[in-house]
Amino acid sequence: MRTINRWYPGTLVGLLCLLALGGLVYSANQTPAAAQRSPRAPFDFDRYTQNKPFRLNTLPTTQYGPPWADIVVNPKNNMLECKGNTAPIALCYYSGPGPTAPCVMDGLGIANCTCYEIPAGQTYYVDINAILNLDVYLKTVASCGKKGERCLPTGTKEAPVCDSINHNTLIPGADLISTFSLYLEKSMPIGSTTCPTANYAGCMTAPCKRTGKKDPTTGLPLVQCGCPIYDGPYQVGQKISTDQCGLGGNYVWSAAYTPPPSNP
């Protein structure tokens, strides 16, 4: 697999405008999610943190939903670039129906999603609006700006959230963290499908555990990530027919939501 080293800003912005983690094509007849506040989360990460110090971010990072809704309002700035020199990351972008990478709701506000472990040394991206650690989110916003404009790829410095992920301090008890990477784009092309309001798994910055299993097709280790469930309109990062948006049973897509450009 190739390593992504450096992107020219125009190329990167153009690509992120096409994908932004869950796919950025917005259907004109889609109704934006209502603004909401999240004083309490309908889930917890106790199974990972086990009483270790951790503050979940429940701030309304955008008007469209809480951090676990994985909202990308401004693809140019929101998707922070991280170098990933010291730690692997989990890639849940392709997770959903299975059989290799299913996402199954556990009834406790979380989907257990099987994801690919991407080796250390790869460039990866983090949605600034979806940082689930409150302290790291506040530090990142203070350094990068609310939209992320002062940090890479459009700014000049690396975001604090990158350091936290690279040193595995974002969520105590996790083996690695779910982010976005282009590592598999050649063998697993990136697409976009807009789906109506329903449950989906918001996997950005979710905690993950290694399973000891390996995907025979990609040769990559498989990990299981605890992705919070959110109910709203969303985009799947693959080309599917709209009748495949609803997976049935307890299965959900790993997805995200990009509101229409007229509502920055």
> What pLDDT sits at residue 86?
85
Residues 6+ apart with CB under 8 A from 71: 61, 62, 64, 65, 127, 129, 130, 256, 257, 258, 259
- The answer to whether residue 258 is domain-embedded is no
Query: Which residues constitute the domain of residue 30?
Result: 9-244
The HSE-up count of residue 166 (CA atoms within 13 Å, CB side) is: 17
- CA distances (Å), 88 to each of 7, 74, 131, 151, in order? 20, 26, 17, 21
What is the pLDDT, as a whole number, of residue 191?
A: 86
Rounded Cα distance between 127 and 4, Å, is 18
Whole-angstrom distance, CA of residue 130 vs CA of residue 148:
12
Whether 254 is covered by a domain: the verdict is: no
Q: Summarize the confidence of residues 57-63 as an average pLDDT.
A: 96
Distances in whole angstroms, Cα of residue 57 to Cα of each of 41, 131, 211, 241: 9, 7, 27, 34
**Residue 51: how many other CB atoms lie within 10 Å:** 8
Number of domain units in the chain? 1
Q: Is the peptide bond before 9 cis (omega within 30 degrees of 0)?
A: no
Interval 228-257: pLDDT, tens: 999 999 999 988 888 899 998 999 999 999
> Would residue 2 count as lying in a domain?
no
Length of the chain: 264
Tell me: the pLDDT tens digits for 176-233? 999 999 999 999 999 889 999 999 999 999 999 999 999 999 999 999 999 999 999 9
Tell me, yes or no, whether 1 lies in a domain: no
User: By three-state DSSP, how is residue 233 classified?
Assistant: strand
DSSP string of 79-138, one letter each residue: EEEE--SS--EEE-TT-BB-SSSBEEE-SSSEEEEEEEEEPTT--EEEEGGG--BHHHHH
Asked whether residue 137 is assigned to any structural domain, the reply reads yes
Q: How far apart are CA 102 and CA 92, in angstroms?
A: 10
120-129 as b/e: b if 16+ CB within 10 A: eebbbbbbbb
What lies within 8 Å, CB to CB, of 9 at 6+ separation is 153, 154
Instruction: Enter the tokens of residue 168.
Output: 């595995």
Between CA 54 and CA 133 the distance in angstroms is: 7
Q: What's the rounded Cα separation, in Å, for the pair 42 and 109?
A: 6
User: Is residue 260 assigned to a domain?
Assistant: no
Both structure tokens of 175? 């083996």
Strand spans (E) along 171-253: 176-179, 193-201, 207-214, 221-236
Q: 255, 237 in Cβ contact below 8 A? A: yes
| 11 has pLDDT over 70 | no
- Residue 4 domain flag: no
pLDDT, averaged across the chain: 87
More confident call, 220 vs 3: 220
Mean pLDDT of 112-129: 97
Rounded Cα distance between 212 and 230, Å, is 28
Domain membership flag for residue 231? yes
**21-35, 47-61, 127-141, 151-165: lowest mean pLDDT where?**
21-35
